[in-house]
Amino acid sequence: MPFQAHLNRTKIVRIKVAIEIMLRISKLTDYGTVVLAQMAWRPDSVHTAAELATATRVALPTVSKLLKFFSHAGLVTSQRGARGGYRLARAPELITAVQIIDAVEGPVAITQCSLGHDVCGIQPVCGVGHNWQRISLTIRESLKTVTLAHLARPAVAVAAPLEMRVPLTQLKHRDQK
């Protein structure tokens, strides 16, 4: 069995990666928050898409797309004409992070079943779905407490508590003992 011996010499090498696992919003939502924060600095002004693109350094087509999302969600209103543009539909203190995320990405949920209306193939035997729904609801409620006014304020970055930062190298796969 010389062929089999050759196969057994192959080594599996583990590569340690120092990437932290996190929940994250899309880049488009991040850009949308930047655009809305720019508008929040002058909440009563009418802003053109071109002006917002220049001020935020977000590409004009992306800004236009975001403004359409925000208009459809009722976060901004559009004004036509020579002095047209967009303005916040309400005060920055009344626009929440969850509304911004929902406008761009749809409802915030950790898992598909967390939205409450999807049925997946393992639902009859799943023991964790309701817990994910509870976690998603907690995250949504937390995001409701953060307003556009908060997001628009320059702030010092705050590091996550140590127990929340877990490098991939410390995580164990379910097959590992």
Least reliable range by pLDDT among 35-39, 94-98, 110-114, 132-136: 110-114
CATH of the domain at 65: 1.10.10.10
Q: DSSP labels for 80-139?
A: -STT-EEEESS-GGG-BHHHHHHHHH-S--SSGGGGSS---TTGGG-SSHHHHHHHHHHH
| 36 occurs within a structural domain | yes
Q: State the pTM of this model.
A: 0.72
| 3 occurs within a structural domain | no
| 171 occurs within a structural domain | no
Whether 78 contacts 71, CB under 8 Å = yes
Q: What is the mean pLDDT of residues 155-172?
A: 55
Q: Using alpha carbons, select from 22, 38, 18, 25 the residue that is nearest to residue 100.
A: 25
| 177 occurs within a structural domain | no
| Residue listed under structure tokens 């488009």 | 28
| 66 occurs within a structural domain | yes
Whether 51 contacts 38, CB under 8 Å = no
Return the pLDDT at 56: 96
Q: Which amino acid appears at position 42 of this protein?
A: R
Dihedral (CA of 98, 101, 107, 110) sign = negative
Could you give the number of structural domains in the chain? 1
Q: Which amino acid appears at position 31 of this protein?
A: Y
Tell me the residue range of the domain where 119 lies.
21-152
| 9 occurs within a structural domain | no
| 2 occurs within a structural domain | no
Decide which of 89 and 126 is more confident: 89
Q: CA–CA separation, 125 vs 138, rounded Å?
A: 24
| 7 occurs within a structural domain | no
